[in-house]
Structure 1
Amino acid sequence: MKNKKAASKTLDFFQKTLLLITASVLFWLSNPNIFFEDGLGWLAWFNYLPVFFLIRKCNIRQSILYGAFYGIISYGLYGYWLNTFHPLGLIIVCIAYMIICALLFVGLKWADLICIKNGWLLQFVCVCAYEYLKTLGFLGMSYGVTAYTQWKFTTLIQICSVTGVFGLNLLVIFPSAFLFSLISKKQAKQKLIHQVDFERKSHISAYVKKEKALAVNSLRLTYICGLTWAALFFSTLIYGNYVVRQPVSKKSVTVAAIQNNDSPWKNGIEEYSRNVKNLIQLTEEAQSLSSEIDFVVWPETAVAPSIIYNYDYGNDVRRFMLISQLLNFLDENNAVFVIGNSHEVEFRGAEKQYYNSALVFESGKNVHPPEPQIYSKMKLVPFTESFPLKHTFPSLYVRLLNGGSHMWQKGDEYTVFNYRGLKFSTPICFEDTFSTICRQMVLNGSRCFINLSNDSWSKSTACQHQHLAMAVFRSVENRVPTVRSTASGVTCIISPTGKIEKIAPEFCQAFVIGKVPLMNENSQTVFTKTGDIAGMAEAVLGAFILLIQTIVVIIKKILDKK
């Protein structure tokens, strides 16, 4: 007897572990990864299937443990490239998701317990709510949202111009919940049928009869939900096909996006001078191929010394000479330049402040002296660019600085630039992974995103394609084009429907030249007008149903005691 129990426990542990590993690997492979640079997006439709089965097998305590391991394994595999920047970065992310996913699994288990027959529907809503909520706050990041895996399916993702990425999330996550419900309910139904057959021989049990009827009704609800999803899915494809066939504006400007393949770890005036020289050379090569280039874009912090500060106040002769050389080149050039710069501001009697900025120059207008329009990054990367608890944890703050972190000041304005008929904004680094930031830029009047980024530190194609996948959705949501100029990839031009029109090879010096349409200033998508209502609705609905069902269970227990 003891041997049978031990064998049963061993088998149970093996099944749970297998489900845990399968769920983590599905999440990893569905996103851009070390083996498949674009990710296997079709796997995302089944990402949560093993999670739901794992939850069913666990009790509350076990769900905490398996949730914690799911967070560590899945995000450890997904974000392995953080280790290149600093092992502490990967550790922080894994710890964060260890806690977040432990809470998620507890919530899913509680939903399973309080909604015995149709808990799968509540679990489905809770998963969608989790994926929205995890993007909020200081630690919030959009990396790992399921719908981003569909970035290559241009027709499907057009629905995001109405619902945003979290509306598409409903479509992509639902099949996991549906298949879980279908499989588990069919198994339960078969079990009840056997019970009925057995008890028919010895006076059939009314209870078993009732349970069989409930199982049939519950299975019928699953089919109805499945048919509703199928109708929505095909409607989405029809809508997407209609959108991608719509003509875009015939008016356009020509943009050259430069990729300098610069290492962010190398410092010093010699390195800065070499890099500016390369940027100028690549620009001249691009302009030799096309004399009609209206805009030239250089990546995030492509010019390391502060252009304005070193020109106006700098006492380093070599830096001043470098900036003067750069300004002379800009003033002799006919194109509008968008340049990533480490912008310094000095106030009397106060510490110097540093901003990760985009500077826009136009010859004959704001080059000599340098008086460019400026946008400074507003969403800073946690722990590497911003650490609000530096006075509470000074030792950790020092350790972060010693590890290569560069703390920036936060910008305070969603700047919209207007040059040569193109109204554009410049989300910097991972700002284009946040729908709220880019949406606000469009509400302010922007009709094009020019993203300046530097993912070269990751030395990872997977990292760069994960970032690119999210950038595609910003164009689709707001129906505006995107130009990306990156240090090593992915430098490209994205159409308003999310199609990648031009793309440069990664980890090399390169550039892309392409036409960017001038979009109608008066047109805004439903998403631009309403925002992430789908995500907010999922969070509110999940919390509301959980609360109501919990109250019902408590009241029922009180009445049963009486």
Structure 2
Amino acid sequence: MLLSKSGKSHLIISFLAFTVLVAEVILSFFGPMATLDKTTVIVSPVYNSIGKDETFIDDLTKIIESHMVKTGSYTIVRQIRFEDYFNKHPDEVKAYQPYSDYLKIANDAGIEKMLTVSLYGNEETGYNIHLALRDCKSEILMERHSQQFFSLEELDSSTGINEAFSFSAKRVSLFDMAYIILLILFASVVLLHVMGIRRGALIELTLVVNIVLFLFSWFFARNANMDYFQKFVATKGQVTIAQDTSTEQLYAYIRFVPVFIITLWMYWKDRKEKNLYAFSLGLVILSAILYSLSFPNQLSLKGFPFLAWFALVPLFLVLEKSGFRKGLFYGSTFGVLQAIFINFWQGTYSYIGLQLVTIGLLIEYFLFMIVLNLAVKISGKWKLLIIPPLWLVFEYLRSVGYIGYPWGLIGTSQFAFSPFIQLASITGIWGLSLVLLYFNSAIAWLADGNRDAKSRRIFPAVMLSLTIVITLWGGIRIKVIENMENQADRTAKIIVVQQNRDPRKHSYQQSLDFAIEMTDAAIAELGTTPDLVLWPEGSFKPDIRWYSDESRQNYNNGKLVIQLVDYVKTIGTWLVTGTQDHIFLQEGDKEIRRNFNSSVLLSPDGSISDIYHKIKLVPFTEHFPYKEELPRMWEFLQKFDTSNWLAGWDWKVMQAGDLSIFTPICFEDAFPGHIRKYVLEGGQYIANLSNDYWSLSPVEGMQHGINGLFRAVENRRPMMRATCSGYTVYADSTGRIQGEVKEFYEKGYIIAEIPLMEKPMTFYTRYGDWLPVGAVIFTLVYLAFRPAYLLFLFLRRKYGRQ
């Protein structure tokens, strides 16, 4: 019997799907796409018998470490483990000891292998290195290798180390487990297709899981573009990293594209009605893409802010038409996709960073969508009016507390729309978000064909009129503030430096040299002594207070502190730099050293005038306060070398001559309520110190920068941002950029001339987050009384007339 056209199509899809499924299962366990099990290894400090300088030894160590990584057999653990040991045992003399001492330290740290390095010879007759790989527990010698070389370039180009220390063993990683789950979903879809049963929600779930895992895999492949040491910093020496971008991307395409195409084909065949809402998942994905592109992205560093005015329309329409379970799925899908698109650069900070952010936002969006879809379900024809205030509540709640992460707030996309963003001085960033959310809702209202023409036009007309009024008012406020500042008696001249060095990647001496170089260039251009110099976070990493002690001035870091102090005396002005500080805390019968991420204000005579300790630490990577409550999570984070800084507690305002400044460090400037507290303490000028070098992505630096600019508008306080690599800017009290280092990852500086005048507190500074708090109250009242009101109407209709 001849098959019908639809029968042939069904058979072809079934055959192709089964072929793809079998091929992917085989490739998951055999061949080059199967992963390798890697052991942790640390390269101990080089035994330097010939007195080579520190730079040569550092470069030699990096070459050896990079070759160990290239074997595909090891993940490198940083030598900071030894530094940590001596920090915890300050009474011990830090000197080169026999390898057995370092073996003990490595073993205590849970490192599996240690590679000892000995250097002999000289430049004329050639250098010799002897490498010995030992098991840390048994101290058994595993492998040994000796090699002669005349230059570091020759050593780097050789393959001797790679060949001597290579091994491999197959395993299934956590990512492979996720991929196996995808294949199980795909197999289920294929089976239902063969049986002629519609796949329903299962096929949409399979598509979403496929897209998410592909994006993770593709961004993983991109991290091969990092230079070796940046990979080292990014992974903390604990995670497999891509060795070759093209190869890893090819693997991603092979693993996910065939499954995606077949699943998409079956998804299309499942849609009997080819109307817009039959492809709701596509609308949700479109919303996630448009929303992400409204922020700084890889296509445009300034993003496409106009997209934010309608990016959420497809999602809002889908949520309005969907039932509770479908709405929960679609809303969570939007959340996880926009999280990956916006935060892709997390993959170059800590490879678990992207996963943690994505999983965290997925959980948050899932919980939010439960509430939102419940509210939508009980709101009848007013669904599109209730979504914006609830969404604002969500933006606010995900920005507070220990895991607060205010990245991707829709209002921040409008940073360049100066007249409009002046509303932030009254409402904070929250008012801008609420206007944008209601504008999206109004367009969705207009697009809903179920309403009569008159009612469809009223809501959009109201929102358009309100936006015009806000923009006109903002333009007038800018002119008023300009006139006030032009009448100031004098201005302060502040040099803001971008030295383009990361203290974790480059030597402390080089970071100091570059900061001095840029400062000198700026002073030469200015032609007079500035009122203040700002250096970025970590630009001077050594603990200035600790190494200022006379007993430690012969240490390398002590000599750097002397050099810094002498330089400040030479330029004769106030200088703020990022640094590190610490205290010793008594824990039981031990004294434990706890470090602060800090900024220090040095007076013109080089003395320490004030020190600020960062309060708002990056969760999981800088700080985890739940060691006792969540010991397994603590142990997991320690494998990734979580810094575990101690959080400060004082919203400190520093006095540098006539300047009352405060120095939020890194992403502290992204939190509206946090910055407001410094202003309430008397702060007049915001001096943010950041190190965005680690991301190796201008997109991250730009996203961070635009977040911080709104703090200037909210509080009417000028903001200077000194960063290691960008976005280094000076924004006035209206949030407009008055000076910037235009290039990322280049040395540079700006000279900010800031009017000195008394600045009144804004409505937002006085009353804080009144708008989102009001939205929270509204939400609680609405969710409590709306169901009761609906029940009352139901009972009245049923029993009201007897």
Q: Return the match for 1:148 from 390, 412, 426.
A: 412
Q: Following the alignment from structure 1 to structure 2, what is the Cα–Cα distance between the partners of residues 519 and 470? A: 25
Answer yes or no: is 1:329 the counterpart of 2:567.
yes
Match of 1:48 in 2: 312
2:593 counterpart letter in structure 1 = K
Q: Following the alignment from structure 2 to structure 1, what is the Cα–Cα distance between the partners of residues 278 and 343? A: 26
Task: Spell out the pairing of 1:109-508 with structure 2 (5 A cutoff).
Answer: 109-184=373-448, 187-189=449-451, 220=455, 223-246=457-480, 247=483, 248=485, 249-266=488-505, 271-290=507-526, 291-312=528-549, 314=552, 317-346=555-584, 350-364=591-605, 367=606, 370-504=607-741, 505-508=743-746
Q: Are the equivalent residues in 2 in contact too, given 1:336–1:363 (CA < 8 A)?
A: yes
Q: Are the equivalent residues in 1 in contact too, given 2:714–2:765 (CA < 8 A)?
A: yes
Residue 355 of structure 1 deviates from its aligned partner by 0.7
Q: Following the alignment from structure 2 to structure 1, what is the Cα–Cα distance between the partners of residues 615 and 478? A: 32
Match of 1:59 in 2: 323
What is the CA deviation profile of residues 217-251 of structure 1, one whole-angstrom value per residue up to 9, with x for unaligned ones?
A: xx63x544434333322221221111111221342
What is the CA deviation profile of residues 414-455 of structure 1, one whole-angstrom value per residue up to 9, with x for unaligned ones?
A: 111122211111111011111111111111111110000011
Q: Following the alignment from structure 1 to structure 2, what is the Cα–Cα distance between the partners of residues 496 and 308? A: 33
- Name the SS of the counterpart of 1:120 in structure 2: helix
Q: Are the equivalent residues in 1 in contact too, given 2:428–2:769 (CA < 8 A)?
A: yes
Q: Following the alignment from structure 1 to structure 2, what is the Cα–Cα distance between the partners of residues 7 and 477? A: 49
Q: Following the alignment from structure 2 to structure 1, what is the Cα–Cα distance between the partners of residues 330 and 740? A: 41
Match of 1:203 in 2: none
What is the CA deviation profile of residues 167-203 of structure 1, one whole-angstrom value per residue up to 9, with x for unaligned ones?
A: 122211112111222222xx224xxxxxxxxxxxxxx
Q: Are the equivalent residues in 2 in contact too, given 1:468–1:490 (CA < 8 A)?
A: yes
Answer yes or no: is 1:517 the counterpart of 2:517.
no
- Name the SS of the counterpart of 1:408 in structure 2: coil
Residue 54 of structure 1 deviates from its aligned partner by 1.6
Q: Are the equivalent residues in 2 in contact too, given 1:55–1:105 (CA < 8 A)?
A: no
Q: Following the alignment from structure 1 to structure 2, what is the Cα–Cα distance between the partners of residues 528 and 251? A: 25
Residue 560 of structure 1 deviates from its aligned partner by 7.4
Task: Spell out the pairing of 1:39-118 with structure 2 (5 A cutoff).
Answer: 39-118=303-382
- Name the SS of the counterpart of 1:8 in structure 2: coil
- Name the SS of the counterpart of 1:226 in structure 2: helix
Larger deviation: 157-166 or 59-68?
59-68
Match of 1:540 in 2: 777
Residue 332 of structure 1 deviates from its aligned partner by 2.5
- Name the SS of the counterpart of 2:335 in structure 1: helix
Larger deviation: 26-35 or 104-113?
104-113
Q: Following the alignment from structure 1 to structure 2, what is the Cα–Cα distance between the partners of residues 507 and 408? A: 27
1:251 counterpart letter in structure 2 = R
What is the CA deviation profile of residues 328-361 of structure 1, one whole-angstrom value per residue up to 9, with x for unaligned ones?
A: 2122221110010011223575211211111001
Larger deviation: 38-47 or 8-17?
8-17
Q: Following the alignment from structure 2 to structure 1, what is the Cα–Cα distance between the partners of residues 460 and 284? A: 26
Larger deviation: 258-267 or 336-345?
258-267
Residue 3 of structure 1 deviates from its aligned partner by 9.9
Q: Following the alignment from structure 1 to structure 2, what is the Cα–Cα distance between the partners of residues 89 and 498? A: 30
- Name the SS of the counterpart of 2:297 in structure 1: coil
1:245 counterpart letter in structure 2 = K
What is the CA deviation profile of residues 78-123 of structure 1, one whole-angstrom value per residue up to 9, with x for unaligned ones?
A: 0000010122111111111112222333333222221111121112
What is the CA deviation profile of residues 305-343 of structure 1, one whole-angstrom value per residue up to 9, with x for unaligned ones?
A: 101112226487212111112112122221110010011
Are residues 413 and 266 of structure 1, via their aligned partners in 2, closer, same or farther at CA, if it must alter by over 3 Å?
same
Residue 264 of structure 1 deviates from its aligned partner by 4.4
Larger deviation: 298-307 or 400-409?
400-409
Match of 2:290 in 1: 26
Q: Are the equivalent residues in 2 in contact too, given 1:41–1:149 (CA < 8 A)?
A: yes
Residue 484 of structure 1 deviates from its aligned partner by 0.7
Q: Are the equivalent residues in 2 in contact too, given 1:433–1:471 (CA < 8 A)?
A: yes
2:565 counterpart letter in structure 1 = L
Q: Following the alignment from structure 1 to structure 2, what is the Cα–Cα distance between the partners of residues 57 and 129? A: 22
Residue 382 of structure 1 deviates from its aligned partner by 0.6
Q: Are the equivalent residues in 1 in contact too, given 2:320–2:383 (CA < 8 A)?
A: no
1:358 counterpart letter in structure 2 = S
Residue 392 of structure 1 deviates from its aligned partner by 3.6
Are residues 53 and 227 of structure 1, via their aligned partners in 2, closer, same or farther at CA, if it must alter by over 3 Å?
closer
- Name the SS of the counterpart of 1:414 in structure 2: coil
Q: Following the alignment from structure 2 to structure 1, what is the Cα–Cα distance between the partners of residues 620 and 556? A: 32
Q: Following the alignment from structure 1 to structure 2, what is the Cα–Cα distance between the partners of residues 378 and 315? A: 29
Aligned length: 523
Q: Following the alignment from structure 2 to structure 1, what is the Cα–Cα distance between the partners of residues 463 and 687? A: 36
Q: Following the alignment from structure 1 to structure 2, what is the Cα–Cα distance between the partners of residues 479 and 286? A: 27
Are residues 111 and 513 of structure 1, via their aligned partners in 2, closer, same or farther at CA, if it must alter by over 3 Å?
same
Match of 2:152 in 1: none
Q: Following the alignment from structure 1 to structure 2, what is the Cα–Cα distance between the partners of residues 7 and 142? A: 38
Larger deviation: 294-303 or 63-72?
63-72
The structure number with the bigger radius of gyration is 2
Residue 395 of structure 1 deviates from its aligned partner by 4.5
- Name the SS of the counterpart of 2:745 in structure 1: coil
Q: Are the equivalent residues in 1 in contact too, given 2:492–2:531 (CA < 8 A)?
A: yes
Q: Following the alignment from structure 1 to structure 2, what is the Cα–Cα distance between the partners of residues 91 and 11? A: 35
Residue 497 of structure 1 deviates from its aligned partner by 0.8
- Name the SS of the counterpart of 1:255 in structure 2: strand
Q: Following the alignment from structure 2 to structure 1, what is the Cα–Cα distance between the partners of residues 584 and 554? A: 16
Residue 525 of structure 1 deviates from its aligned partner by 1.1
Larger deviation: 486-495 or 347-356?
347-356
Q: Are the equivalent residues in 1 in contact too, given 2:553–2:559 (CA < 8 A)?
A: no
Q: Following the alignment from structure 2 to structure 1, what is the Cα–Cα distance between the partners of residues 447 and 557? A: 68
Q: Point out where structure 1 has 5 or more consecutive residues left out of the alignment.
A: 190-214
Match of 2:82 in 1: none
Q: Following the alignment from structure 2 to structure 1, what is the Cα–Cα distance between the partners of residues 475 and 410? A: 22
Residue 526 of structure 1 deviates from its aligned partner by 1.2
Residue 12 of structure 1 deviates from its aligned partner by 7.8
